[in-house]
Amino acid sequence: MIVKREKLNLWERLYGPAIVDGFKVTLRHFFFGKTVTMQYPEEKWTVPEGYRGAPYLVKDPEGRTKCVSCQLCEFVCPPKAIRITPPGPVVDTTTGNVEKRPKEFEIDMLRCIFCGYCQEVCPEEAIFLMKDYSLTGQSRAEMVYDKEKLLALGGVHQDKIWKWKNK
């Protein structure tokens, strides 16, 4: 199929009018447009409801790790950003009615896609997505968060029901 194109007239072939029209648009936005630039360190972005940020581990009100090393979050993670090394059975009876705790718990924040599957699948509500959006590091190794860093950033989660309360 052949498409017949009309010949351009002299005005349409000149680049000058198109350049002038472009400058008009630019100047109109420059002088009369609203400011959309945010001065980041001084101004913070308002996080909307339902925002999925970085996943962190939380502690119970007594300061114990809520994670029982079930490894469901590791299995459900699409980019395989979570790695859990479970230890043997817990022999310490002061930690409540917990059979095992994670020996190592790491999340590679560079691989994490902030999907929220880990939070949804956790039966103990030990992992939550926080509302932070500024994750920085000087190297790749700094962006792999270990258990201590995840617990420090996650803080304490105030539950209404204490499942592992000592009897």
Model confidence pLDDT, tens digit, residues 126-154: 999 988 888 889 999 999 999 999 999 98
Are 111 and 77 in contact by the 8 Å Cβ rule? The answer is no
What's residue 124's pLDDT? Answer: 87
What's residue 93's pLDDT? Answer: 53
Residues 101-125, mean pLDDT to the nearest whole number: 93
Confidence of residue 92 (pLDDT cuts 50, 70, 90): low
Per the document, the length of the chain is: 167
Pick the residue with more confidence: 106 or 63? Answer: 106
Q: What is the CATH number of domain 55-154?
A: 3.30.70.3270
Residues 28-55, mean pLDDT to the nearest whole number: 87
Confidence of residue 98 (pLDDT cuts 50, 70, 90): low
| pTM over cut 0.75 | no
Pick the residue with more confidence: 107 or 155? Answer: 107
CA distance 162 to 15: 73
Its sign, for the CA torsion 78, 79, 81, 83, is: positive
List the beta bridge partners of residue 55: 129
Q: What is the tens place of the pLDDT at every residue in 44-79? A: 888 888 888 999 999 888 888 888 889 999 999 999
Report DSSP letters for 103-148, one per residue.
Answer: SEEEEETTT-----HHHHH-TT--EEE-S------SSTGGGEE-HH
